[in-house]
Structure 1
Amino acid sequence: MPTSGDHAHTGSDAFDPASTAIVVVTYNRSALLTTLLASLTRIDPRPGHVVVVDNASSDDTTQVVESYRERLESAGTSLVYRRLETNTGGSGGFSAGVETAYQLGAEWIWVMDDDVEVLPDALTSLARWTPRFKVIQGRRYDYDGSPFYWQYRIAERMAIPIPFAPAGFDASGYKEMNSGCFEGMLVHRDIVKQIGLPDHRFFIYWDDQVYGWLASRITTSVVVEDFILRRTRDIKKLNLGARNLRASSDAYRYYIMRNRGHLKQYYRANHAYSPVLFAAGTTLTFLKELIRLTVAERRINGASNLWRGLRDAHAIAKDRSWRPMPPLSD
């Protein structure tokens, strides 16, 4: 478990914006990407690198990225455009992006989707926490300008988010988390080196939760009170009072269940697996997705994707050749 010594940064570990690489993953959403890249021209201080990973988009993403190269590089930020040959999902995109940032020598790697914009003082806000922590999650505004609630803690043995973890902050300005979100998570190079790259096998869903959980096992990870991003895409959701239930898709439903197989393997590898509690978490996940389907989306014909995902999760969990992502070297 992390100790107080895991927080401290001294000497060469002090925060330098130029040592930061922003990693953006995009797929066929050039209009959203345009908004994000425009916001990156306005932030102060500037990051050293912006890495855009394109999951084989078929729209004008390449042209959009290149149209911002001169503006970013003239201000001292290098732009690295990595176009993948196939769509590897968000998981594959972030794995490739973090790998690229690590190879560039970045000390801090800041990951985000393409459907956000960065607030101008975001790096300044994050910098005040870097002397103490090596994994930092800032807050986001939702599309309508309201604070976006993110489930920053998981019920560890069940491997599911805790939906009613307190949203407020005390005088410290931070809360410990044992999860992660690839929409604004800032990770120090030392942590990436120890836990390896994000696992591309997830394709979508659970990948950032696992990555944050792995990080929290070796250092104190925190979500902080500072707002750093604003969502630029509206998502249909059902208001349940204290929390919202967002609409999903058949692909998400499949991977939500299928990737429980990868989750089970990670838990086994880290000696955190409880058969009864993990099965309870899988059951609750299945029921939540059924509710999302029938109540938020008012249909039932997507349920077959949940069953198909469960079937494939079972096969993944039985794979004796499965191994977690390996640590990195310099």
Structure 2
Amino acid sequence: MTHVPSAAPFDPQTATIAIVTFNRSNLLTRLLTSIGEMDPKPGRIVIIDNASTDDTAEVVESFRDAVAPADIVYRRMETNTGGSGGFSEGMRVAYELGSEWIWLMDDDVEVLPDGLAKMGKWAPRFKSIQGRRYDYDGSAFYWQYRVAEPLGIPIPFAPAEFDASGYKAMNSGCFEGMFIHRDIVQQIGLPDPRFFIYWDDQMYGWLASRKTSSVIVDEFVLRRTREIKQWDMGIRHMNASSNAYRYYIMRNRAYIKKYYRELGVYRPVPFALGTTLTFGKELIRLVFVERTVRGTSNLFRGLRDGRKIARDASWQPMPPLEAATTTGR
């Protein structure tokens, strides 16, 4: 697929940073501090609070002047909708506010001072862009930017190096830094909140890549601020997980299957192999990262509940959006 240049040069004021946070006001403080030090700044910062019980609301209020001239739009959810629900709501708010570009991120990163300028450099050429991140220790974080479509899983050792072009084609996505144009959001709709956590960003990035040339660019724009237990495998790391993640990793395979069927790319045998490989990877994560064998019941429970989703004849994918009228800047 060839990329189509945007109609106009990038204007930072048309961009919105959409953040999802939950009970991590200390990490949110670091992120908002980094946004305050950015040059240029975005026009808006949308903060989706997944029903936090800490001082998140007070922290947000304390930063309104520090991030000026960017406007802060704060939304507190009534319940914790997971990362999937938070990013869906953040995308909805940013889109309805008329944002041309939406930059998604969790609360456990900070933005480099020239991060938006670096992303904006690519905005006239592409409409779905992923930048690079530094890990907690300052090393380059490797993200699996290619999906083996028939299997429905990431390719773990896709080449990490960039050539002189400075970008590589991707067919996936990561909500820790996805930079996407409103035209693509309108066509594919909002991120699917039904995932709750896991696979949601991969699916959304894959959907975007079917509408436009999606790329990862050789620009470091974010830094992770939370240390996670890892197994260093050389080219990449395998992070520690949790019982909740293990459950949703397996359950949400059913949602991927649903989207694949809807779009006519589902192939039963390769997809089943992808599910088996995912199950095996989670067992390896338990043994080599978390040094335990407890937690396997959550994998089986996820598979069981996924079968119920797969049989749901009423299921529909997220719909395209109506064009929203731009309000303000």
Q: Same fold (TM over 0.5)?
A: yes
The alpha-carbon deviation at position 8 of structure 1 amounts to: 1.4
Partner of 2:4: 7
Partner of 2:263 in structure 1?
Answer: 270
Amino acid at match of 1:53: I
Q: Distance in 1 between matches of 2:182 and 2:124?
A: 14
Residue 21 of structure 1 deviates from its aligned partner by 0.5
3-state DSSP of counterpart to 2:119 = helix
State how far apart, in whole Å, the 1-side matches of 2:234 and 2:312 are: 41
Of 276, 285, 295 in structure 1, the residue corresponding to residue 288 of structure 2 is 295
C-alpha deviation, 1:240, in angstroms:
2.2
Residue type of the alignment partner of 1:94? F
Hey, what does 2:326 align to over in structure 1?
Answer: none
What letter is aligned with 2:132? R
The answer for unaligned runs of 5 or more in structure 2 is: 324-329
1:51 matched to which residue of 2?
A: 46
Superposed CA offset, 1:146-168 (max 9, x none): 00000000101101000000000
SS at 1:71's partner residue?
coil
1:29 corresponds in structure 2 to 24
Match of 1:60 in 2: 55
CA distance in 1, matches of 2:92, 2:291: 40
Once residues 169 and 294 of structure 1 are traced to their aligned partners in structure 2, the CA distance between those partners, rounded to angstroms, is: 33
Which SS does the other structure have where 1:320 is aligned?
A: coil
**1:312 and 1:123 mapped to 2: Cα distance?**
41
Whichever residue aligns with residue 21 of structure 2, its letter is T
Alignment match of 1:170 (pick from 163, 185, 188) = 163
Could you state the TM-score of these two structures normalised by the residue count of structure 2?
A: 0.97
Aligned to 2:75: 82
Counterpart CA distance in 2 for 1:178 and 1:240 is 23
| CA distance, structure 2, for counterparts of residue 243 and residue 190 of structure 1 | 33
Other structure's SS at 2:198 match = coil
Deviations 1:36-78 (A, max 9, x none): 0000101111100000000000111111111101222xx3211
Separation in structure 2 between the aligned mates of residue 239 and residue 313 of structure 1, nearest angstrom: 31
**Alignment partner, residue 218 of structure 1:** 211
Q: Which runs of 5+ in 1 are unaligned?
A: none
How far off its partner does 1:241 sit? 2.8
Q: State yes or no: 1:191 paired with 2:184.
A: yes
Map 1:25-174 → 2, pairs under 5 A: 25-72=20-67, 75-174=68-167
2:315 corresponds in structure 1 to 322
Alignment counterpart, residue 254 of structure 2, candidates 244, 258, 261 = 261
Structure 1 moving runs of 4+ over 4 Å = none
2-structure distance, mates of 1:152, 1:288: 18
Aligned with 2:306 (options 313, 317, 321): 313
Does the CA-based 8 Å contact 2:246-2:282 persist in structure 1?
A: yes
Aligned partner of residue 171 in structure 1, secondary structure: coil
CA offset digits 1:199-256 (Å, max 9, x no partner) = 0000000000000000000100000000000000000011223322111000000000
Aligned partner letter, 1:47? P
Q: Check conservation: 2:19, 2:46, Cα contact below 8 A.
A: yes
SS at match of 2:122: coil
SS of match in other structure, 1:214: helix
Match of 1:229 in 2: 222
Taking the aligned partners of 1:269 and 1:125, their CA distance within structure 2 comes to 36
Q: Percent identity?
A: 66
Whether 1:19 and 2:14 are equivalent positions in the alignment is yes
Amino acid at match of 1:10: A
Amino acid at match of 1:260: R
Letter in 2 for 1:64: V
